[in-house]
Amino acid sequence: MAREIGLDELPNGCGSEIRAVRGEGRVTRELLTLGLVPGVRVRVLRRGIGGDPLEIVAGGHPVCLRRDQSRMIRVVAATDES
């Protein structure tokens, strides 16, 4: 079974798929408006000093997010299955 993690936990260079956007209010609506919706493929490009902001590509479009915003986005964790 796939485990969900926050987008902020995904290592640089790794890709995944958005499973959910957690939260309520204006920030959640803005994330959804940016196209950060369940099913969209995302890849972490790089982080700023201290991990904030996070630069990603979502559905082929570059997006920068603050750490608290990226925690709201839940993605599928990579699994080590041998």
Helix (H, G, I), strand (E, B) or coil at 48: coil
Q: What is the pLDDT of residues 38-64, one digit of tens each?
A: 999 999 999 998 889 999 999 899 999
Q: Which residue has the tokens 């996070």?
A: 54
- Reported as a pLDDT band with limits 50, 70 and 90, residue 79 is low
Percent over 70 (pLDDT), the chain: 93
Helix (H) or strand (E) holding 43: strand 41-47
Contact assessment for residue 77 and residue 5, using Cβ atoms and an 8 Å cutoff = yes
Residue boundaries of the structural domains of the chain: 4-81
Using CA atoms, how far apart are residues 13 and 5, in angstroms rounded to an integer? 16
The CATH homologous superfamily to which domain 4-81 belongs is: Ferrous iron transport protein A (FeoA) (2.30.30.90)
Name the pTM for this structure.
0.87
As a whole number of angstroms, the distance between CA 58 and CA 15 comes to 10
